[in-house]
Structure 1
Amino acid sequence: MNKYLIRGIISIILAIVLILISYQLMKNENNSYKFLMAFGVIAFGYGFITIVYSFFRSIDRNTILNFRNKRKNKN
């Protein structure tokens, strides 16, 4: 697992915790839930984008390594 995948997973877990806490605050009619909900959604988006980026990065790395191996074997 690379650092981007780990960051994405941690961010998504943090987002889930923040959203669950904000739902509890919403049930108790506390208005501070709005800020936690917003931070939770932003953290989830960041985590999702980071995980997708890690997958693209691994695919791109494998493609570059395959190209180098083919070029090395050709000469």
Structure 2
Amino acid sequence: MANNINVVHYARIMRVDVRNNYSKYILVLILLFFSQVVLGQNPPEPSPTAIPPPPGLPIDFGISALIAAGLALGIHHIKNRK
């Protein structure tokens, strides 16, 4: 009870409507809890005619080409540095 009296006294000094602030806090809390309920729902089940994902693509050539391009770029920068 003493804490509530201090809040009301402080609100009178600062000329703040305490009831209006409490209603804002309650509204924020309600919206916060409602958003948690909405986000907590399970995802929908996939349709029975869903197309299976494609098989994994090999990345061997892509990595080899990336390493070769990196080496070529590094050699080019080293030669142009001097």
TM-score scaled to structure 1, two decimals? 0.39
- Structure with the higher helix share, 1 or 2: 1
Relative contact order (alpha carbons < 8 A, sep ≥ 6): 1 or 2 greater?
1
TM-score scaled to structure 2, two decimals? 0.36
